[in-house]
Amino acid sequence: MARKGLNTDRIVEVAAELIAERGFDQFSLRELADRLGVKTASLYNHISSLSELTSNIGQLAFERMAGQLYSGTEDALPFDTLYHIAIGYRKFAKQNPELYKTIVKIPSTGSSDLIEKGQSLVHSLYPVLEACGLSEDDIIHFSRTIRSAMHGFVTLEEAGFFGTAVDADESYSYMIKALIEPLKTELGRKDA
């Protein structure tokens, strides 16, 4: 019999908390069950496997990241939206470092649902880039470029490589603006 108040959503939430505290590599179903006050076997009343739970955690991480990226961009101009998304990306990674690492590992899981969810999040950037005046090919090139830059910055920062007197927030903003400014210039040429 399932424990009252225990459901899949609660299990996923607590699993995400544990991952945030200890890291994905240190996560175990036994520890999850202990935190929930149930036996490990009881978890299987709500999830079919560790793989399913991992998939659900990945879905939750993507939803949280998407919320961070697009919150407050409803009426913003395309270039402002792009800048806001980039700031939200780093903010999510800093506030949720272990969930961020989980997201980065998703392509290696082979989970088609998670890979599709990740691609959906990436593709949500495409209309913004189209509104910035990019062609179909350039949208893909720029999407890859900015994602690589953001991930690279976040990874180096997390590893402690930015311990200088220059503020990392300023450096990140500088990097994003350096990527966006040429788009504005190119759009201006097309409009001329």
**pLDDT 10s digits, 154-179:** 999 999 999 888 999 999 999 999 99
Q: What would the DSSP string read from start to end of 125-147?
A: THHHHHHTT--HHHHHHHHHHHH
- Degrees to nearest 5, angle at CA 29 with 28 and 31: 70
- Degrees to nearest 5, angle at CA 84 with 71 and 18: 60
Class of domain 1-47 as given by CATH: mainly alpha
**All structural domains of the chain with their residue ranges:** 1-47, 60-191
Please indicate whether residue 4 or residue 53 has the higher confidence score (pLDDT): 53
Please indicate whether residue 28 or residue 114 has the higher confidence score (pLDDT): 28
Does the domain at 60-191 match CATH 1.10.357.10? Answer given as: yes
Decide if pLDDT at 27 tops 90.
Answer: no
State the Cα–Cα distance between residues 93 and 101, nearest whole angstrom: 8
Exposed, middle or buried: residue 190 (CB in 10 Å: 0-12, 13-18, 19+)? exposed
State the Cα–Cα distance between residues 14 and 176, nearest whole angstrom: 34
Which among 85, 93, 70 has a CA at the least distance from the CA of 151?
93
**pLDDT 10s digits, 77-136:** 999 999 999 999 999 999 999 888 888 777 766 777 778 888 888 899 999 999 999 999
Q: Using 50, 70 and 90 to split pLDDT, how confident is the model at 58?
A: confident
DSSP SS3 for 87:
helix
The amino acid sitting at 10 is R
The two three-digit tokens of residue 24, written as one number: 């994905």
Exposed, middle or buried: residue 109 (CB in 10 Å: 0-12, 13-18, 19+)? middle
State the Cα–Cα distance between residues 181 and 72, nearest whole angstrom: 22
State the Cα–Cα distance between residues 21 and 96, nearest whole angstrom: 10
- pTM for this prediction: 0.83
State the Cα–Cα distance between residues 190 and 33, nearest whole angstrom: 59
